Amino acid sequence: MQLTYSAEIEAIRTDAGFSKPVVALESTIITHGMPYPQNLDVARAVEQEVRDAGAVPATIAILNGSLHIGLDPEQLTDLAQARDVAKVSRADMAFVMAQGKSGATTVAATMIAAQAAGIEVFATGGIGGVHRGAEFTFDISADLRELALTDTIVVAAGAKAILDIPKTMEVLETYGVPVIAYGQDEMPAFWSQKSDIPAPLRCDTPQ
């Protein structure tokens, strides 16, 4: 997979990986999550949070068919104002790149790109999951299977609250994905810290 690195990420690339910790960030929040200029403000704020913690942010997106690992400030601004940007998951990632189009990466696509780039940690908001009524529609996010396929650690605020969280947990268990709550015994629910759903695993420190 051909990757294009931002100047900031390129500067810390080594034969062994990276000389500083790198955190991958998705880009659908920029193109599909909120309007301009709030989307740009949030993207910049999230990147700054990563920098303040001593790591380097790598916002991931497809620009004109090229998979970018990290966006320069101008690219971030352009993406925030772009129209007709594809929302890219595993199923359409190769197609968008082959067509030379631009696309914002979902959780699944960002995991794929992060693993290809050798980035071990990916931070996001809420992951996709099992939709309510999925026993009739089979509407299940590709994010869940991707969590089982990649080696990327995904730090998230849980599954989006509009989803069927118990069924999401069942699918993750079936796929063998370790789901670890940080500092609490319940699963978060995106904008809520707790969901009344017990977490299967818990840890209280990054170590």
57 strand-pairing partners: 23
Neighbours of 192 (CB within 10 A): 13
Share of the chain above pLDDT 70, in %: 100
Q: What is the pLDDT of residues 158-190, one digit of tens each?
A: 998 899 999 999 999 999 999 999 999 999 999
Predicted confidence (pLDDT) at residue 1 exceeds the cutoff of 90? no
Does 26 participate in catalysis according to the annotation? yes
Cα separation, 141 vs 36, whole angstroms: 26
The total of other beta-carbon atoms located within 10 Å of residue 142's CB is: 17
Mean pLDDT of 13-20: 95
Mark whether 135 is an active-site residue: no
Tell me the whole-structure pTM to 2 decimals: 0.95
Question: What's the gap between Cα 18 and its chain centre?
Answer: 19
SS3 112: helix
**Superfamily the domain 1-124 falls into:** Indigoidine synthase domain (3.40.1790.10)
**60-69: per-residue pLDDT in tens?**
999 999 999 9
Domain boundaries, the chain: 1-124, 126-151+160-207
Choosing from 8, 26, 47, 146, which is the catalytic residue?
A: 26
State the catalytic residue, choosing from 47, 146, 160, 167.
160
Where do we find the tokens 């810290």?
193
Q: Name 127's bridge partners.
A: 159
pLDDT of 24 higher than 90: yes
